[in-house]
Chain A
Amino acid sequence: MILKENFRQGFYDVIKRQSVVIIVAVDTDALCTTMILSHLLKCDDVPYTIIAVDGWESIEQSLLDLQDQKTSIIMINCGATRSLSRIQLPPAATIYIIDSHRPFHIENMFENDQVNVLIDEQELEELRLPQPNEVIKDESDDDTDDDEEDEEQESSYEGRMEKIQRKAIKREEARLWERRRQNLLWTYYESTWNGAPSCVRLLELAAELNRTSAEMMWFAAVGLNSAFIDRLISIEMYTSICIDRMRPFIHKFSPRNIVNQGKQDDQLHISFGKELPLALYSHWDLYSAMMIDEYFSIKTKNWTQRGDVNIRHLLASLGITLAETRQKFEALSTEQRNVVTDILEKEIDSSFATFFAHLGYCAKLSAADLARGISVRMEMPKTKKSMDRFMCGTQLLRSSISGAKSHRFNIQQTFETVCQRTLLVSWKTMAAAINQSEIIPNGPYYLFSCTRPIDEEMIESRHFLYNTTNFMLRSFASMKKGRTAKPLIAMFPLTAEKQGWLVVTGVMPLATVYEDSLLKTCIGRAFERVKKMAPKLRITNDTFDSDVIQLKSEDRTKFIDCLQAIFEGSN
C-alpha cells in the first residue's frame, strides 16, 4: 500500500501505540533517520528495537526471528526494492517502509496490504507508477470463469463452440494484457535511482509533531549531505532540497544576528552557507585536499608526470603561495583563510552550500565532512558486525553535537586517519588506472578490471566504490574527447576470506549524468539481466544497491560477454 500524505496520523500515531521494531540499513542517511525517529519515540516513551542489517539475507533472518511480533516494523532505507511478499513476514505485524531507493517494487505498493510504503506526494509523479489494474492480475475474474465452465459442461454443441471461442478470445486478451504488463514493468524497473534522503522526510514529520530541535535538524543535514557526497543525488536535487524542504528549519535554527549567538555559546546552532566542494580541506592541508579533488585533479591532470608542475602553475596563477597550501588549513590565519577560500570559490565556481554546526568555542564543523566521516566509519570494515559499525556511526554523530574534548578528538581522528586514507586510495586507484591505461573500451561500455589488490576494507564500501568509479570515468573522459557516451564497468578483486570473488559496479555515461538530475542508472538492471541470461554465473547481490554485485572471478569473461550482449541489445 502507498502512504502518501498525513504521515502523522497515518504513520506515527499508529506506530506509537505499541512497541516498534526498526530495521535499518547501515548507511549514513538511515542512521540519521533512525536518530530522529528514535528521539521521537523516546519522547513518547515507546519501547523500540533497532536491528542493523547489511543485506537481504540479514533482513530475512531477523524477520524470521520476529515471527511472533504483533507490532509495527519500520524498515529504513531497505526493503522497498524487492517484493516483501516473497519473504516470510511476521503475520501479525504491519510493515512501514521509508526508503530512498527507487523504484519501489510494484508488489509492495499494490498487492501486499501488510506493507506500507511512505512516499512524498510530490514525488509520485517522478516515480511514473503504472496503474494498479494494468500490472496486477485481478484473481476474482479467473475464479468466476472456472465456475461457469463447470456448470455448462452439459450444454449443446453450439453453446460449447461459443464457449471455446470466448475462451480463446479471453486467452488472447490475457496474453495481450500480459505483454502490456511486461512492457510497463520493463519501463518502470528500467533504471534505479535514489530519491530524497529519508531523514528529510522524518525531519518534516518531527516538525508536524512540533518536536524539532537544532540537533534533529543537524542529523537531517548530515543525512542529506551524505546522499550528496555518496553521489546518490545530484547537486541540483541537493540544492533544491536545501532550498525547498530545509528552508523552514534553516530559518528556525540558524539565528541571523550575532548578538543573539553570543548569548548562547554552549548551545548548538546551525548555519547554512557556501562551502568549497573540497573534501575535508578544513581538517587537512590544502595541497592534499586539492590533489584528490575531482575538479582540480582533472584540471591539472595530476596523475601524469607533469601533474605536480601543473598544480604549481595553477596555484601561482591563482595567487596562492605554496606555503599556504602545504600547512594545515586550520593553522592559517583567519584573513589568509578567507582570502584563499575566496580565490578557490571563484575558481571552482560551484553552487555547493552546506550546513555548519557551531558549538561553543569549537571550530565549526561542516555537515559534508562529517557525513564523509560517518559513511567511512559505517561502511568499513565489513568484517565488523553491522551493529558495531552502526554504533560507531551513532557515536560519531553524537560527538559532533557535544563539545567534550574526547568526542572532538574522535571526530578529528576519524578525519585524519580513515577518511583521508580513503580519499587518497581513491585517487591512487584512479591515477593508476589511467596511467597504465587499464580502462579499455569493450564494445558498448568501458571496462576497468583492477588487478592490484586494493585495501580489502574499502572495496566493499559503497561510498568508496561510487566515488572512485565516478572519479575514474570523469578523468578518463577528460583525457580525450568523445568519451562521454559509454558507461564504465569496474571490477575489483576481493582478498582474504572472499578470495576469488570480484566486486563489480558501474557508472552511467557522463552525458546522461549531465542531463538527468535524478542520476538514474540502468547498470543494476543490466546486471540482473545478465543473471537471468546466464543463470549459471555465480553472482551474489545481497546489498540494497542493485548496481554493486559480487562475481566469482572464474565467471568473469562470461559475464563480460553477456553484459556486452545486453548493452548492445538495449542500445
Chain B
Amino acid sequence: MTERENGGIADKALQLVLEMKRNPDILPPYNAELVRSCLHKIDELYKLNADIVAEMRAGKQNDYSLLQPRIVAMYHIRRCLCAYINARKDRIRSFRWKYGGALPSSIRNALCEAEIEFFNEYSSTLARFQGSLGDNGVNLLLHVEPPKSLFVQVRALENYGDFETSDGTLVVLMKDSLHSLPRQDCEMLIRQGILEIAN
C-alpha cells in the first residue's frame, strides 16, 4: 500500500533519467540523494521477496504472485540508474574534448567523487593513447570536427622555401602568400607556426 501513496515504485529512478533529459546542455549536479533512495528501494524489494521465499521454504502458505513483478521492478530501477550514470559518463567524456584536462569549477562542483576519478582516469588514458600514436604522438583534440574538404587555405607567415606535398607537387612558401594545400600535408607546418589557417 505504501508504494501507491508514493506513486509508482520506479518513479524516483525515472526522475533521475528525466533530469538528464531535461538538461541536455548542462550537467546537473550528481543527485546522490535520489540515487541512494533508488538503491534503498531495490534493497527493500529484494528483502520483501527474500522473506516470501524464506516463508515458502518453511512450507508456510503465502501469496507469491508478487514475486515476479518485484523482480521486474528491480531490474527497471537498475536500468534507469545505469542510464543515468551512462548519460553522465558520456557528458563528462565530452567535457574532456571541450575543455581539455582542467575542468572549470562550475562543472567540477556538479560531479561526485567517483566521477572526478573517472574523468582523471579518462584523461590519462587518452593521453597515453595519443602518446602511443606515431613517433611524437598526435594531439587528437586539434581535429575534433571532420574536415569539409581535403584542402585547406593557409597563409605563409615566413619564407620557408620549397615544400613538397605528398602527391609530389612543389610549392614555394613565400611570406604572405596564400595557399590551398592538402590538409594532412600542412598540419605539421601549421603547428610549427610557418603556416596559418586563413579565414
Which residues in A have some Cβ–Cβ distance to B below 8 Å? 18-19, 21, 38, 41-42, 45-52, 62, 65-66, 68-71, 385-388, 390-391, 394-395, 398
Contact = CB atoms under 8 A, between A and B. Distances in A.
Nearest to A62: B174
A47 B177 contact: no
Interface in B138-191: 149-151, 155, 162, 165, 169-172, 174, 176-182
B198 interface: yes
Contacts of A390: 178
A71 B177 CA distance: 16
A139 B180 CA distance: 43
Contact of A50 (B162, B169, B179): B179
Given A45-B150, A47-B165, A387 B172 contact: no
B196 to A, nearest CB: 11
B155 A42 contact: no
B180 A38 contact: yes
Enumerate the 4 nearest inter-chain pairs by beta-carbon distance, A residue then B residue, closest first.
A50-B178, A387-B176, A19-B169, A51-B177
B199 interface: yes
Contact of B180 (A42, A65, A385, A388): A42
Interface of B: 149-151, 155, 162, 165, 169-172, 174, 176-182, 198-199
A50 B177 contact: yes
B179 A48 contact: yes
Given A18-B169, A42-B149, A69-B170, A47 B180 contact: yes
A35 to B, nearest CB: 12
Contacts of A41: 180
A89 to B, nearest CB: 14
A391 B198 contact: yes
Nearest to A20: B180
Contact of B172 (A38, A52, A68, A386): A68
A291 B8 CA distance: 79
A38 B177 CA distance: 14
A52 B155 CA distance: 12
B199 A394 contact: yes
A68 B171 contact: no
Contacts of B149: 42
A47 B182 contact: yes
A62 to B, nearest CB: 7
A532 to B, nearest CB: 34
Contacts of B165: 47
B151 A52 contact: no
A385 B155 CA distance: 13
20 contacts: A19-B171, A45-B151, A47-B180, A48-B179, A49-B171, A49-B177, A49-B178, A49-B180, A50-B177, A50-B178, A51-B177, A68-B162, A68-B172, A69-B172, A71-B170, A386-B176, A388-B176, A390-B178, A391-B155, A398-B199
A42 B180 CA distance: 8
Nearest to A48: B180
Which residue of A47, A52, A66, A390 has the most chain B CB atoms within 10 A of its CB atom? A47
A70 B181 contact: no
Contact of B178 (A46, A65, A66, A387): A387
Given A42-B149, A391-B198, A395-B199, A47 B179 contact: yes
B176 A52 contact: yes
B180 A387 contact: no
A213 B170 CA distance: 31
Contact of A51 (B151, B174, B181): B174
Given A18-B169, A47-B171, A48-B180, 7 more contacts: A46-B180, A47-B169, A48-B179, A52-B176, A387-B176, A387-B177, A391-B199
Contacts of B171: 19, 47, 49
A64 to B, nearest CB: 10
Contact of A47 (B151, B155, B174, B198): B151
Which residue of A50, A62, A70, A385 has the most chain B CB atoms within 10 A of its CB atom? A50
A107 to B, nearest CB: 26
Contacts of A47: 151, 165, 169, 171, 179-182
A145 B179 CA distance: 51
Given A47-B181, A394-B199, A66 B172 contact: yes
A385 B176 contact: yes
A417 to B, nearest CB: 22
Contacts of A42: 149, 151, 180
Nearest to B179: A49
A341 B170 CA distance: 56
B193 to A, nearest CB: 17
Nearest to A390: B178
B154 to A, nearest CB: 10
B182 A68 contact: no
Nearest to A21: B172
Contacts of A395: 199
B29 to A, nearest CB: 34
Contacts of A385: 176
Contacts of B178: 49-52, 387, 390-391
A49 B172 contact: yes
Nearest to B159: A65
Given A47-B181, A47-B182, A394-B199, A65 B155 contact: no
A244 to B, nearest CB: 33
Contacts of A394: 199
A68 B170 contact: yes
A391 B157 CA distance: 14
